[in-house]
Amino acid sequence: MTMQTTPVVEGRAIVQDYHVPGGLFGGAKTVRALKGVDFRVDKGKTLAIVGESGSGKSTLARVIALIDAPTSGELRIEGKPVDIRTHRPGPEMRSKVQMVFQNPYGSLNPRQKIGNVLMEPLAINTNVPAAEQRERAEAMLKKVGLQPEHFNRYPHMFSGGQRQRIAIARALMLNPSLLVLDEPVSALDLSVQAQVLNLLADLQDEFGLTYVFVSHDLSVVRYIADEVMVISKGEAVEQGSREAIFADPQHAYTRQLFAATPVTDVAAIRTRVERRRLARAGA
Is 213 within 8 Å of 39 (Cβ atoms)?
no
Check pLDDT > 60 for residue 264: no
Express each pLDDT in 201-253 by its tens digit: 999 999 999 999 999 888 899 999 999 999 999 999 999 999 999 999 999 99
Check pLDDT > 70 for residue 261: no
Which sequence spans correspond to the domains of the chain? 43-58+90-282
| DSSP-derived 3-state class of residue 102 | coil
Query: What pLDDT score does 265 carry?
Result: 54
Mean pLDDT value across residues 109-119: 93
Q: How far is CA 207 from the centre of its chain?
A: 15
Domain 43-58+90-282 sits in CATH 3.40.50.300? yes
* β-strand partners of 99: 180
Express each pLDDT in 163-197 by its tens digit: 999 999 999 999 999 999 999 998 888 888 989 99
Percent of the chain with pLDDT over 90: 68
Which of these ranges, 50-54, 59-63, 211-215, 226-230, has the smallest mean pLDDT? 50-54
Element (H, E) at 152: none
Query: What pLDDT score does 88 carry?
Result: 84
What is the residue type of 283? A
201 CB-side CA count, 13 A: 17
CA 253, 259, 261, 263: dihedral to nearest 10 degrees?
A: 130
Task: Give the chain's mean pLDDT.
Answer: 89
Query: What pLDDT score does 171 carry?
Result: 95
